[in-house]
């Protein structure tokens, strides 16, 4: 068990070192994903992938349009009371 923990700490430190030196704006998860992807490729390809930026950006959450029939009895605003103090 302790060997597994030690190896995982060494792997984490290695990925953190690669991230800090190569691409500080990337997350460790992204660096690990690229490391696995370019494991059998040339090191320069891995470095180029680290430096490259994503082309697709998130559009975020979109509001759905209100679809349906209009209200049968439309809402009527309540009358406002004006209080005058003498």
Per-residue DSSP letters for 34-68? HHHHTTTS-HHHHHHHHH---S-------PPP--S
pTM of the shown model: 0.54
pLDDT tens sequence across 27-51: 888 888 988 999 899 988 888 888 8
pLDDT above 70: percentage of residues in the chain:
98
Residue 59 has pLDDT above 90, yes or no: no
The single residue listed with the structure tokens 């995982």 is 8
């Amino acid at each position: 068990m302790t060997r597994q923990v030690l190896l995982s700490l060494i792997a984490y430190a290695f990925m953190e070192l690669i991230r800090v030196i190569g691409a500080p704006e990337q997350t460790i998860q992204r660096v690990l994903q690229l490391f696995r992807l370019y494991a059998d490729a040339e090191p320069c390809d891995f470095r180029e992938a680290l430096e490259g930026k994503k082309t697709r950006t998130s559009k975020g959450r979109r509001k759905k349009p209100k679809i349906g029939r209009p209200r049968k009895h439309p809402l009527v605003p309540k009358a406002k009371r004006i209080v005058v103090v003498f």
